[in-house]
Amino acid sequence: MSLKVDLTHRFPDFELHAAFEVPPGLTAICGPSGAGKTTLINALAGTITPHAGHIEINHRVLFSASEHINVPTERRRVGYIFQDARLFPHLTVRQNLKAGRWFRKLPTEPHQLDPIIGLLGLEHLLDRRPAKLSGGEKQRVAIGRALLSEPEFILADEPLSSLDLARKLEILPYFERLRDEMKIPILYVSHQSEEIERLATTRLTLNGGQLTEQR
């Protein structure tokens, strides 16, 4: 499964152009502030519409300017992990995990949830609400919710930036497991060279809206 991207998006004082293909594994998107990293992943998520280009995952077209195709975000089968966990405060961990499946009208039986709960070590947290979780625990729940939506690719926008060093070190092994076990493309935005060196199997570098390196 691979994600193929060739898009252009224009702002009054800035133009993003990126063409690349990424395989399963974790692709780090790096570059200075204002390079276009978040614009790129928002275009992949469908929250902004590029002015030109083509996006497809596993031969399924998500966006094509020439063919007038623009699949809505909720039908793109993308898991989005934000900087902050964005959990529903009134729901338990178990209910927050199920929310990723409710939105896609997927079954929520234990055998569908248990592998992800085990992968992320959430068994002892299932009956807690977010106010009773640490920052690292909240982010693990957010990762689980994204995975349980059965995505074809994952977008992670600086998912560790709001955590202190101890919590970052807690979460990094889970991203390593996602990279090695999920077999889908993960696009991971980060400014931290240590995270990139540890996690990335592929690296994209943006500068001034242009893709300057892929390796």
What integer pLDDT is reported at residue 83 of this predicted model? 86
The two three-digit tokens of residue 46, written as one number: 């469908």
Instruction: List the beta bridge partners of residue 29.
Output: 189, 204
What integer pLDDT is reported at residue 111 of this predicted model? 83
Of 193, 215, 181, the closest CA to residue 27 belongs to 215
What integer pLDDT is reported at residue 1 of this predicted model? 74
What integer pLDDT is reported at residue 177 of this predicted model? 92
What CA–CA distances, in Å, run from 152 to 34, 128, 147? 27, 29, 9
What integer pLDDT is reported at residue 112 of this predicted model? 85
Of 177, 171, 129, the closest CA to residue 26 belongs to 177
What integer pLDDT is reported at residue 105 of this predicted model? 83
What integer pLDDT is reported at residue 72 of this predicted model? 95
What integer pLDDT is reported at residue 59 of this predicted model? 92
Residue ranges per domain, the chain? Answer: 1-76+193-215
Residue type, 66: S
Residue with tokens 């990293």: 37
pLDDT along the chain (215 residues), means of 10: 94 94 95 94 96 96 98 94 91 94 85 91 96 95 94 95 91 94 94 93 96 91
Of 88, 81, 62, 85, the closest CA to residue 178 belongs to 81
- Give domain 1-76+193-215's CATH architecture: 3-Layer(aba) Sandwich (3.40)
What integer pLDDT is reported at residue 106 of this predicted model? 87
Q: Does the reported pTM lie above 0.85?
A: yes
